[in-house]
Amino acid sequence: MSGLFSKKNKNIDRKRPDFYDGIVNQQEYETILEHAISCAEQIGELVMVANGTITITNSDNQNGKTEFHLDNLVRRCSKNEADDWEELIINHFRRFFSDSNKEKYIYKDFDFASQMLKFLVRTYDIVEGKDDFVCRVDLPETSTFLILDYDETFHFVRKDRIKEWDKTPEELFEVALENVAAEEVEVKEFLWMEEFEMYTFFSDDFSASFIVDLSHNANFTIGQYGAVVTIPAKGSAFVHPLHENTALNFIASFHEVQQEIMKEDEVPITDKFYWYYQGKFVQFTEQEESGKVHISLPPDLKKLFKDSSL
């Protein structure tokens, strides 16, 4: 292991990022970080470590640098015994650059690449250097990142690489939407708390992504007044169709479950609730008073209920 050598590098910030609070402590984070640095140094030369991201230079990468975001890895380790961390981290890094020539070929052949284009919804600030990647906002306070899905790894697509495809970001997302729609997502309907109609969306990775195009992928989950949507984690999403003014009561009944899912999942996304209506997501209004968060209806939904005398 080359971790001892790495400790001399002044560009390594070993302070645990605040967003890992309650997931791993400082000592656990440093242990994970040392294993990850050692693996990264076998791929290229270490440049820096900051805010849960390892940056290296690599001759196979024509952009000059490669960034490894450790969020998924840290959360996966937190669910396993510490004795298993080293092997888990080694296997994680083995998936990177399994064939360096493949990436070069993918960016030169859009027809080939188009089969792998998908997207992931992530917490807005979780990806270091997010402005370098092709992304957009579908649900407020989140980011939707364009990815290539191959070799059992998600490769975030950089803005400076798509020039080779001669496609706009909008065109790429249209292709990705079709590919995500074809993913296997288990959708089930049941009566939550014996009162609220609800649909659950479960998959390994793409439930949150599937929700982005809700009107196309699951139009049957949308009521006359739209739907309440929450995506607490990458593999789970929940939709409550609005046939009447039940939004706030549903949110109050489901909030605790949402929080538990975020704590348990390796890749939590957001604790926000959204109103989905006519193809757009609007965040429910939040206001903090005396240490408590009070949620209220978005103004347009409130007006819609009022006009309908609900």
pLDDT digits (tens, 9 = 90+) for 216-230: 999 999 999 999 999
Same domain, 93 and 27: yes
Same domain, 6 and 33: yes
Burial class (CB in 10 A: 0-12, 13-18, 19+), 182: exposed
- Helix, strand, coil percentages in the chain from 3-state DSSP, rounded to 5: 35, 30, 35
The residue segments making up the domain with residue 143 are 98-182
97, 115, 130 - which closes a domain: 97
Same domain, 90 and 105: no
Token output for 94: 């083995």
Q: Give mean pLDDT, residues 263-275.
A: 91
**pLDDT number for residue 96:** 66
* Residue among 217, 213, 204, 273 at smallest CA distance from 240: 273
Q: How confident is the model at residue 99 (pLDDT cuts 50, 70, 90)?
A: low
Q: Of 65-69, 130-134, 227-231, 303-307, which one has max mean pLDDT?
A: 227-231
DSSP assigned state of 268? B
**pLDDT number for residue 190:** 93
Q: Give mean pLDDT, residues 107-119.
A: 94
Same domain, 210 and 270: yes
Token output for 244: 């009447």
Same domain, 23 and 36: yes
Same domain, 214 and 238: yes
Mean confidence (pLDDT) of the chain: 89
**pLDDT number for residue 6:** 42
pLDDT for 187 beyond 70: yes
Burial 4-38 (b: 16+ CB within 10 A, else e): eebeeeeebeeebbeebeebbeeebbebbbbbbbb
65, 97, 129 - which closes a domain: 97
62, 97, 132 - which closes a domain: 97
Same domain, 61 and 45: yes
Domain count, the chain: 3
**pLDDT number for residue 22:** 86
Contact 75, 266 (CB under 8 A): yes
**pLDDT number for residue 97:** 54
Same domain, 198 and 284: yes
Q: How far apart are CA 178 and CA 281, in angstroms?
A: 19
User: What tens digit of pLDDT does each residue of 146-166 get?
Assistant: 999 987 788 889 999 999 999
Listing DSSP states for 53-70 in one string gives: EEEEE-TT-TTS-EEEE-
**pLDDT number for residue 79:** 87
Same domain, 192 and 149: no
Q: Give mean pLDDT, residues 264-286.
A: 94
Selected residue with higher pLDDT from 7 and 217: 217
SS3 190: strand
Contact 197, 189 (CB under 8 A): yes
Same domain, 195 and 284: yes
**pLDDT number for residue 215:** 97
Q: Give mean pLDDT, residues 260-266.
A: 88
pLDDT for 110 beyond 80: yes
Same domain, 81 and 112: no
Same domain, 13 and 125: no
